Structure formats: structure tokens, C-alpha cells
A = this chain, B = another copy of it.
């Protein structure tokens, strides 16, 4: 392909790639890429996301680099968007070559972010959940819920799901969408009911405010909480008391302290970086009675992994659109000459 052409994965191509690969296979392979990058965490440039907040929501840029490859994601979060038929969260991203600065791939990332978030949830739960965990409660049955269930199934073999949403139609739709995967999904009348018998509790609600999706009395000893929905300043899901009696695992502390559940805690409250658990530098779960929390906010390295994996799938499937995104003069210093020649070519065609 010519130097100036950037492969672009549209929403439609992304869906075709995921369907051709199989959603669960995609999630499993994607989780493997994320794990590889977590294991070499120290090699990455890391920075909290660059956020532009407004009354309606937030627009963020999430860059990172491992010194050879660079990526960034554009992502918005606008809770009111659903009112006029828009997505609460949409995203796109770019993978680029550090040596030349040239983009290697551009992609929609609304679907890809849902997949990488779910893959990261299951990857961390696989390490942190109590032994023999076989039931997951999913509280919040919106856009992320099916991806969560399928990731827990794909990576951990979990089949039993207990679902709750303030909107019962969301739960019904989630269960209908999951038909055919051999899962045992139960609609529950309340969050209190949903967590009964679950060793893993996933919270994935979308409200932009301090909410208490889980209160202290709902949390039994030994559970693993996968807290996904609290992911920006002023948006949390867990009662502070739960945090105080749990071991908390995070992606990148400087970002999580701003955006995660731990924004409710003192700035120096001890947390463990998940990559250190993976590499054996820090302990994960140390007892069956311990409560573990993965305070997930979504970090740039997970998007990097997702784009890196996608690039492989794009090469395998050929499902992309060539985008004329970079100026490509015959002589790199002659940008204006390229414009002149384009003008001459237009006149020729018109003549």
C-alpha cells in the first residue's frame, strides 16, 4: 500500500471482523494482547487522559507509546446523548509508527472499546476472583453488559449471570441478545437480589454522578467487585465503606485517583497496580475472605493493545477502507508543488 494511505476500519468493517472471528474468540485473543502489554507495563509512556469537560459530558484523548508504536484514542462520555438517539460513549483511535510518525491504522473504537473493557474485566477477574467462582452479577444492563458476560464466559468459562437494571427492558434485551451462548441468565428484581450467590459483581451503570449502586451491607466476604461504571470525576458506584474494607487493584494510579472509585478516598490510600500482580511483583488475592475490587477506569494501554490486535485481524481479513489521509508529494519538501500539479491535472481533465 502507498505510504500516504491509512487503513481505516469503519463500524461496519469492525462488526464484520468481530463476527468473522467470533465474539468470544475475539475477546479471548484480545485479552491475551492486553495481558502481554500489562506484563511490559514499564516500557510504556503513561499519562492521565487529556480531558475537556463541559456541562454535558467530556471529550478525552488517551495517548500512549511503547517506544516503537504509538496510539491514541478519542472518546466522549455524554450521559444525555441517549435522549436524542446518540451513543453515550463513542470513540475512534489511531495506531502510529514512532520512527516515522505515520499512522498505521485508524479505527472506530466504540465497539472496540466495549470489547477491550470487557476483556480487561475478565482478565483481571480471572486473577483476582475467589477460586471456583461460577456466578457473576451484572448491575447495569446497557451497552457494555453483553460484552461483559461474553468475556467472563470466554475467559473463565462462567455460565451463570444475575442481571439487574433500573430499566427492566434493558435486562430483557440483554438476556435476549445473549441467547445461543449457552448461558444461564436470570433477571433480578433488585441489585440486592442480583448479588446473592455471586462471587463476582460487575457494576456497569452510566449515570454521571456519585451513585451508590452497591451499598456496604450488600457485599459479602470473599467477593470480587469489577467496578466499571465509575470512570470520571464525580461519577462513582460503590459506597465508600466497601472500599475501606477491600483490597483495591487499579490500572494507572494517577488516572484512577481522579476518575475511579478511589476518588472517594484519601490520595495516599494504598492501591495495587494490576500489572504488578501479573508479573509477580505484588500479591493478588491472598485469602478466600478478602474482598477484591478492580477499580476499572480504562487506560490508554488497553486501547493500544486493542489496536495492535485489530491490526493483525485487519491483515488477516482485509476488511478495511484505504484512506487518503497523508499528503504524499513526489518530493517531500514540495508540498505546494503537489497542489499545483493537482490543479494542472484538474485543468487537463476539464480540457
Contact = CB atoms under 8 A, between A and B. Distances in A.
Interface in A161-188: 170, 173-174, 177
Interface string A91-107: 01010101111110000
Nearest to A340: B177
Contacts of A92: 103, 325-326
A99 to B, nearest CB: 5
A81 B100 contact: yes
Given A11-B4, A12-B342, A325-B92, A332 B59 contact: no
A77 B101 CA distance: 7
Nearest to A94: B74
Contacts of A283: none
B15 A338 contact: yes
Interface centre among A59, A72, A74, A336 (most CB of B within 10 A): A336
A82 to B, nearest CB: 4
B108 A325 contact: yes
- Summarize A's interface: helix, strand, loop or mixed: mixed
Interface centre among A4, A18, A326 (most CB of B within 10 A): A326
Q: Which of the four size classes fits the interface of chain A?
A: 35 or more
A3 interface: yes
A281 interface: no
Interface centre among A81, A102, A327 (most CB of B within 10 A): A327
Given A54-B67, A61-B72, A87-B329, 9 more contacts: A15-B342, A15-B343, A19-B339, A52-B63, A52-B70, A56-B99, A72-B74, A90-B326, A144-B335
Interface of A: 3-4, 8, 10-12, 15-16, 18-19, 23, 45, 47, 50, 52, 54, 56-59, 61, 63, 65, 67, 70, 72, 74, 76-78, 81-82, 84-88, 90, 92, 94, 96, 98-103, 108, 110-111, 114, 142-147, 170, 173-174, 177, 323-329, 331-340, 342-343, 346
